[in-house]
Amino acid sequence: MQLLRSLAISTRLAIQTPWRRRQLKRMSDQGQAPISVLFYHRVADEPINPWTISKRDFERQVDYCREHFELISLQEVQRRLDTGHSPRPAVSFTFDDGYSENCEFALPLMIRHRIPCTYFVTTENVRHGHPFEHDLRLGHPLPINTVEQIKAAADSGIEIGLHTANHVDFNRVHTIEELNQEIVEAKNNLEEMIDRPVRYLAVPFGLPQQMRPAVIETARQCGLKGICSAYGAYNLIGDDSFHIRRFHGDPQFNRLRNWLTYDERKNRRRPTLPDQDVLNIEPELAAKIRHPELAFS
């Protein structure tokens, strides 16, 4: 099934590539080139979970992006959205969770090629070295980045971002105290670890149901510069620059190319986020969403 799907994508790409190139040129000439933000988790040659990509496949993707796109930071993503001018298709690299093995190959590759990169870590796992629950459920606990590793990465030019304190599912958060613990306190703790400001939050799971107004407002109020989703979408002129949209750095190269060459069908299908927090929340939290000035009183 996977082989048939890959073949179908390859065939579609071969047919559509000339048209997509013309479309990208037209968008670029208008200063509206799409901006793609990729997210990865673990780069290693033992793919014992679905969110691992091999070193060879990762380097192939990096080389492809270096050849065909401008590689930019999240700050530059936001600047282009804010100014309403994106002259060339661009890519930004990000990582989620904080796997120790990324320090062996992926991050040195980023540093060696001077590729802007944001590396999101879950602070309590880093602080205590506890493996992630999602790996424990698979029966494969994996080593987590240490404080020393993320500090060294930051000193080498990697931007360290926040992935909450406990890799929380915000769809299950119902109190302002837990929201503050996972974002505000975790941000402060991470800044102490790396001795630098923390500017960005990547929401665990990153689906529309986790991208709640309460989460976004808390991130704004505590001084974060942006918040990243992970449900698969481009960043286009006219989008809110505080919400940075990302899609997976798929190990299947054809699927990644399909995204990066700008698939208009995917853009038409991207979900919209609710402008009200209609999920189950306590009255106290609802009041602080309606009146943000109360959030940290």
Give the dihedral sign, CA 134/137/142/148.
positive
How many domains does the chain contain in total? 1
> What pLDDT does 12 receive?
73
Domain extent at residue 74: 2-294
The domain that holds 89 is classified in CATH as: 3.20.20.370
> What pLDDT does 11 receive?
76
> What pLDDT does 296 receive?
30
Spatial CA neighbour of 252 closest among 60, 98, 109: 60
- 137: exposed, middle or buried (C-beta count within 10 Å: 0-12, 13-18, 19+)? exposed
**192, 141 contact by CB (below 8 A):** no
Give the residue carrying structure tokens 């073949």: 7
SS3 248: strand
Q: What does the mean pLDDT of the chain come to?
A: 90
> What pLDDT does 289 receive?
41
pTM for this predicted structure: 0.90
SS3 291: coil
Sort residue 236 into left (φ over 0), alpha (ψ -120 to 50) or beta: beta
> What pLDDT does 43 receive?
98
